[in-house]
A and B are shown apart, each in its own frame.
Chain A
Amino acid sequence: MEPEQEVGVSIKQPHPEKKGKERYSKLFRKFIFLTLICSLVPLFLVGWGIYAYYSGFSKIRIMDHFKNQVEHHREIIELFLRERTSDLQLVILTHSSDSLQNPGNLKRIFSIMNQGSSFFTDLGLIDDEGNHLAYIGPYALMDKNYSQTFWFKEVMKKGIYISDMFMGFRNAPHFIIAVTRIEGNRKWILRASIDTEYFRSLVENVKIGATGEVYLSNQEGILQTTPRFSGKIMEKAQLPAEFFSEESSIGIYEADNNDPNRRFPRQLVAYTWLESPRWKLVVKQDYAEAFRDANQANRAALIFLHFSLLIIFVISVISTRYMIKIIKNQDEETDLLNKQLVQAGKLASLGELSAGVAHEINNPLAIILTESQVMRDTIEEAPSLNDEVKTELIASLSQTESQVHRCSLITQNLLKFSRRNKSQRETVNLNAFLEEVIRFMDGKARGAGIRFALDLEKDIPSFRSDPSLLQQVFINLINNAVDAHEGKPYGTINIGTRTDSQRHGVEITVGDTGSGISPENMEKIFDPFFTTKTVGKGTGLGLSITYSTIKGLGGDISVRSTIGKGTQFNIFLPFSPPGNAQENREEVITPPRSSI
């Protein structure tokens, strides 16, 4: 495949594609980095700051709430025990020992005491030697002597006593409340057992979710109620034993991996001490469940944060790509403009130079021509010269004059290349105009075995332009196209027109099936004095003039060529040329033979 090159507007330098790509990639990375730093870092800091603050805050709130719940529950249990103690005290103070020894009375009192709920399991009256005087309850305890029991000793000493859980004669876990009264010189005791199941349900009456458990333990660490998960009443509690403290406490309990009762690896544990009896009220809940709501909220916040980060990242990438595209387009426009400026500058400076050179050459040429004519006169009048010599000298002078005219034509072209005249604007019907130019050039083309192929869009609107300039442009291009077929027996020149509604103008193509332009020549074809034609055949100004004319008319010209296959020029002309282009233009004439 032959190399194909395209030259936009005038000279499209081969863009350093790789270098450009690297530059834009680098720019892209820099922009992305800066955008992300500027947007993600503050969001990340704020997001994580809020997350950390609210995590800590919600944790403290949950733990405080948990602790308050435990303390509140302790008050309920203590109130219950105080009320039950008061029940016994009321009975013992309002009834004599004799009255209570009457089984009917004790039974009636027992049923009254359990009227609200079955608080008490049994009720017994005991003398100061530990013998039961009367007893109401499910166990056969009338014949039992309690003088050696710990609670008997304690109540005799203190007057009121609430025991820890113990097995006793009934051989079942229970605790008792006992109160004493001195009647005459005798002391007697009213003792009641609290219903263990009722008490357990009271203790457990706390809303602590699916993993929560509540229990009581004494100072020795013995369970006073059966916890939901960890152990049974009267067994050693999971938490280590400790002495009474007035302070409530809350913390995180990490279960020992070797603990057989290990159900939850991590629990939130709060405890507080009942004053009497000195029982520790323990409330536990699985850590994950306790903080589930807070964790869910935090997780949602984190998901939102990361989603925001992702959105920002995507937006940054898209917006940066868009910016890079704009920059790239602007760079390309600037690049193009610079090239056009360089080309325009080249032409302008060359124009000035041309004017000077043409003038300086014209005068010597004028002298040479007149000298030649003087010599011609002299020779013709010289009688001593024979005819043969005269003919030879006249032929030499004719050749001299011919070369002077040739030089003169070049200098005139140079001058016209450099001059600016007032534009002659007329309404141009492009298709009709092109057909006229083609008719004009048809003879030359036919002579070279070349035919024209037209593809002219119908109804192209007429527009204001300079027909004489356009004529020179197309004559130049067609001349070049004909010359490009040198060495080929036949060929085609394709000429097409189509409306470019987007740019509000018309696009004209002039293509040939000639020899094409080599890549190394592609860069120079619009340069003045560049020609590939043999000496004397082209001045190298044709395409320069074409270029400056098209630019002067506010248009655009580009070229595409494949060696051995042909060349195509694309010309764009606006329907409304800019004012400058209308007012001033390069005056262009066709060189004797156009360049290329």
Chain B
Amino acid sequence: MKKPSILLVDDEVAFANNLLKLMSKRGYDVVVVYNGADAVNMVGEKEFDVIILDMKMPGMDGIATLKEIKKKAPLVEVVILTGHGSVESGIEGMQLGAFDFLMKPVSIDDLQEKVSEAYQRKLIQRESG
């Protein structure tokens, strides 16, 4: 099965780069950006299957970024990743159209699983839509 293309948005450079390495190694097409504004721009330039989005970022935070992304690419699935771990922000994100949320620290296996679920849903939606 084709691996989904992923946009990874996180201001923690080390974490983002590690995930880039791990996901790339597992066959994903991963693009990394380090803030919300770049993520929105990137969504405008390229189509992604799943976006992994950090909640707490300087400047445009995760919620604002999510809103803008959903405006530009309503079908893209977003998995929220947060170090804050608050259920409220996760729920808020899901109400804005995010697929699900995960709390840091997250293992690559859990992330992979969640990304797969998100991608599956996107595929189903695309087929039904």
Contacts and interface: CB of A to CB of B under 8 A. Distances in A.
B88 A369 contact: no
B14 interface: yes
Contacts of A358: 84-85
A362 to B, nearest CB: 4
B84 A359 contact: yes
A362 B22 contact: no
Interface stretch (B34-42, B71-79, B101-109, B121-129): B101-109
A133 interface: no
Interface in A291-338: none
B123 to A, nearest CB: 27
A252 B71 CA distance: 121
A366 B108 contact: no
B18 interface: yes
Nearest to B83: A362
A421 B106 contact: no
Interface string B82-121: 0111111000000000000001111110000000000000
A374 interface: yes
Interface in A76-92: none
B46 interface: no
A415 B85 contact: yes
Contact of B108 (A368, A370, A412, A587): A370
Interface residues of A, number: 25
A172 interface: no
Nearest to B109: A373
A371 interface: yes
A367 B87 CA distance: 21
Interface in A370-410: 370-371, 373-374, 377, 401, 404-405, 408
Overall SS of chain A's interface: helix
Nearest to A415: B85
Given A373-B22, A377-B22, A365 B84 contact: no
A158 B21 CA distance: 164
B25 interface: yes
A362 B18 contact: no
A366 B85 CA distance: 12
B86 A415 contact: yes
B104 to A, nearest CB: 4
B12 interface: yes
Contacts of A412: 85, 103
A362 B105 contact: yes
A419 interface: yes
Contacts of A421: 87-88
Interface centre among B22, B104, B106 (most CB of A within 10 A): B104
A547 B104 CA distance: 28
B84 to A, nearest CB: 5
A366 B16 CA distance: 10
A365 B105 contact: yes
A370 B15 contact: yes
A10 interface: no
A358 B83 CA distance: 8
Interface string A405-444: 1001001100100010100000000000000000000000
Given A367-B18, A421-B88, 13 more contacts: A359-B84, A362-B84, A367-B14, A370-B19, A373-B18, A373-B22, A401-B107, A412-B85, A412-B103, A415-B84, A415-B85, A419-B87, A419-B88
6 contacts: A363-B83, A369-B106, A370-B22, A370-B108, A377-B22, A377-B25
Interface of B: 12, 14-15, 18-19, 21-22, 25, 56, 83-88, 103-108
